[in-house]
Amino acid sequence: MSKISSLEQAVQTYGVEHWGAGYFGINKYGNLIVRPTKNDVRSADVKLIVDHLISRQRLKPPVLLRFPQIIASQIRELYLSFSSAIREFDYRGAHLAVYPLKVNPRRDVVEAFLQEGRKYGYGLEVGSKAELYAALAFEQTSDSLLVCNGFKDETFIEMAFAAAALGKNVFVVIEKLNELYTFLRVAETARYKPHLGVRVKLYSRGSGRWEKSGGETAKFGLTTTETLEVIKLIKHHRLIDSLKMLHCHIGSQITDIKRIKNAIKEAARVYAKMRKLGVEIEYLNVGGGMSVDYDGSKTSFESSANYTMQEFANDVVYTVSSICADENVPEPIIVTESGRILTAYHAMVVVNVQDEIETVIDEIAPGEVDEDDPQVVLELRDLRDNITSKNYREYYHDALEHKEELVTLFSLGYIDLEDRAKGEVLFWQIIEKVEQFARQSRFFHEEFDDLRKLLAAKYLCNFSVFRSAPDAWALDHLFPIMPIHKLDEPPTEFATLVDLTCDSDGIIDKFVDLKEVKEVLEVHPFSREPYYLAILLVGAYQEAMGNYHNLFGALNEAHIIIDTDGDFHVQKIIPGHSLGDVLTLARYDRNFLLEGFERNLAMAVKRDRLSEDESMLLRQYYEATVNKYTYLD
């Protein structure tokens, strides 16, 4: 295959143009590139970035690459989408966004959000005390919002009052009746008060994996009766002027735009009816949930989205506008809390393939099979020698049966280890031929799908699924994965990816595809040369949800800015966790470790296993090793 057609083939194989949203592509050198804005002429070559980090910055893989410009680009798109919808539908309200810290609470990410979002008056959303505590330290523009969701105790609510004292435009959204009692208690002695909001349960549900965040049985929000009671109580305390926001959120990654429209319709009606009760709600907060098209299929499949940001904005603005017209109430300021769509694209994890775990044993030459060998071995040999493109389907089933028989005979003690080995080698040789014939045939029968998986290589990758792509493990969530180089050479192998953890769940065997879910990934043959794969679109949720299974820690991290001339520069380097760092998280402080090691050393010296000198060297070694990276060198 020529280099050009290989490049085109790679674009197809990995679906870059489908899920890449204009941020990713492949250059003529066969490397993955990143663009700072959609379809920008500027781009940076990911392989060159990784080479630079390794040789110049001595930063070892695996690395997390962050592209803050992509966060800014997504925010701009959000702003432009809503501006355009507001103009198109002559909407007299406005739109404001808040960034939910839960999606990615990393300081650098929140700072990147505020740096761009500040231009449009965008603010923050918090759902816990720790998130609010962090938000109190950020500078926001005066009209931007600070929305407090989630279950709240007295401290949480007091902190919201502190935010109000600072002059922040803060909203305490009541999720439970007792939060209101606490609010009223704190309000008695406070000079500055936050605004109030109510979160209502909608009957409408989202779609996709987080469907149960909506509906009557949702975990959050007030029922209709509770909402009325809250209003009554607030009126009674003469605080009704503070109740300014109506909030709903029907879940994350809502893949189907119809569900969004239905929810907005219902929420807008609730807004209108509250207005008619004399509650002057100004902000209609429609929550988050904008879906990321991880597989590029543009469908309502759980890893996809059947709409764009513009369509989302149009539908929200149009629906709110038409219901307000119908009910003859003022058009509110629409607040959105979408986080996933803003941050998913900006981060990727680059891992090196460390090794290939051989699953097949076909490379061991079978010992001569002779007529004294057990019948089952002879039959497998005959299948191997006589298989053709005409009989391979039948022979495949025969081979499966003989393989069963082989193991049964072995378990019963009728054949020995050598016979079993011969039989297994012959079996794999047959399977390989079956796969070749199946591939050549015009119809790839479904019965051979498993075969491809059976024959797939296992690439041992230098990372932990649990740390870097936890949703792939917990939810079978799909992330685009592809080599960052060699894309001008055809990928001739199929592989699943296994991680470093001693956990059989530490594997990725589901990959994005336009029509289905692939169970194997097209890869290049593994040699001893460095081979890098990128796991893309991991900027939302993965970092905070990632865990320390097997004590694999945070990755080395680099923040990359793509310059005007197409060059890149490294804005920031953040070293990943060392052995000492992850051990501290499990409550092994350094003194405990060192003192414990020293005690063991002293014992070894006492028993004359080690000399004093040896013991000193070993101590130095132990002390220095605490700074090593948790991943393979």
Ligand X SMILES: *Cc1c(COP(=O)(O)O)cnc(C)c1O
Residues that bind ligand X (CB under 6 A): 100, 102-103, 125, 127, 149, 249, 252-253, 287-290, 337-340
Nearest CB to ligand X, comparing residues 157 and 601:
157
Nearest CB to ligand X, comparing residues 100 and 366:
100
**Burial classification of residue 418, based on how many CB atoms lie within 10 Å of its CB (0-12 exposed, 13-18 middle, 19 or more buried):** exposed
DSSP 3: H
Query: In angstroms, what is the minimal distance from the CB of 456 to ligand X?
Result: 33
Tokens of 74: 């997504």
Angle between helix 224-236 and helix 177-187 axes, rounded to 10 deg: 10
Nearest CB to ligand X, comparing residues 338 and 429:
338
Query: In angstroms, what is the minimal distance from the CB of 340 to ligand X?
Result: 3
Query: In angstroms, what is the minimal distance from the CB of 398 to ligand X?
Result: 51
Query: In angstroms, what is the minimal distance from the CB of 477 to ligand X?
Result: 13
Nearest CB to ligand X, comparing residues 100 and 123:
100
Query: In angstroms, what is the minimal distance from the CB of 56 to ligand X?
Result: 35
Nearest CB to ligand X, comparing residues 102 and 205:
102
Q: How far apart are CA 302 and CA 307, in angstroms?
A: 13
- Asked if 221 and 175 count as a contact pair (C-beta separation under 8 A), the reply is yes
Tokens of 483: 């080599």
Residue 563 CB neighbour total at 10 angstroms = 11
Question: What are the angstrom distances between the C-alpha of 533 and each of 298, 318, 498, 516, 556?
Answer: 24, 43, 12, 21, 16
Q: How far apart are CA 321 and CA 443, in angstroms?
A: 53
Query: In angstroms, what is the minimal distance from the CB of 233 to ligand X?
Result: 23
Query: In angstroms, what is the minimal distance from the CB of 242 to ligand X?
Result: 20
Q: Which long-range contacts (CB under 8 A, 24 or more apart) does 435-439 make?
A: 437/387, 437/388, 437/389, 437/392, 438/392
Nearest to 396, CA basis, from 385, 405, 387: 387
Query: In angstroms, what is the minimal distance from the CB of 119 to ligand X?
Result: 21
Nearest CB to ligand X, comparing residues 262 and 496:
262
The secondary element (H helix, E strand) that includes residue 560 is strand 556-562
Question: What are the angstrom distances between the C-alpha of 431 and each of 213, 445, 509?
Answer: 46, 15, 20
Nearest CB to ligand X, comparing residues 339 and 480:
339
Query: In angstroms, what is the minimal distance from the CB of 632 to ligand X?
Result: 33
Nearest CB to ligand X, comparing residues 10 and 200:
200
Nearest CB to ligand X, comparing residues 95 and 524:
95
Nearest CB to ligand X, comparing residues 230 and 353:
230
Nearest CB to ligand X, comparing residues 163 and 482:
163
Query: In angstroms, what is the minimal distance from the CB of 503 to ligand X?
Result: 27
DSSP 93: S
Nearest CB to ligand X, comparing residues 125 and 179:
125
Nearest CB to ligand X, comparing residues 125 and 379:
125
Question: What are the angstrom distances between the C-alpha of 633 and each of 49, 351, 352, 535?
Answer: 19, 12, 10, 20
Please report how many Cα atoms fall inside a 13 Å half-sphere around the Cα of residue 44, on the Cβ side.
23
Tokens of 450: 């498993």
CA 426 to chain centroid, in Å, comes to 42
Query: In angstroms, what is the minimal distance from the CB of 78 to ligand X?
Result: 11
Nearest CB to ligand X, comparing residues 248 and 380:
248
SS3 annotation, 111-172: HHHHHHHHHHCCEEEECCHHHHHHHCCCCCCCCCEEEECCCCCHHHHHHHHHHHHCCCEEEE
Which residues does residue 518 pair with via DSSP β-bridges, in sequence order?
A: 511
Nearest CB to ligand X, comparing residues 101 and 536:
101
- Asked if 471 and 541 count as a contact pair (C-beta separation under 8 A), the reply is yes
Angle between helix 107-117 and helix 68-88 axes, rounded to 10 deg: 40
CA 288 to chain centroid, in Å, comes to 16
Query: In angstroms, what is the minimal distance from the CB of 246 to ligand X?
Result: 13
Q: How far apart are CA 422 and CA 361, in angstroms?
A: 10
Query: In angstroms, what is the minimal distance from the CB of 285 to ligand X?
Result: 8
Query: In angstroms, what is the minimal distance from the CB of 254 to ligand X?
Result: 8
Q: How far apart are CA 63 and CA 510, in angstroms?
A: 22
Tokens of 420: 């079993």
Query: In angstroms, what is the minimal distance from the CB of 618 to ligand X?
Result: 49
Nearest CB to ligand X, comparing residues 290 and 484:
290
- Asked if 304 and 297 count as a contact pair (C-beta separation under 8 A), the reply is yes
Q: How far apart are CA 113 and CA 1, in angstroms?
A: 44
Query: In angstroms, what is the minimal distance from the CB of 288 to ligand X?
Result: 3
Tokens of 203: 């009957």
Residue nearest to ligand X (CB): 288
Residue type at position 510: K
Three-state DSSP at 550 gives helix
Enumerate residues 6+ apart whose C-beta is below 8 A from 614.
Answer: none
Our CA angle for 492, 493, 496, nearest 5°, is 150
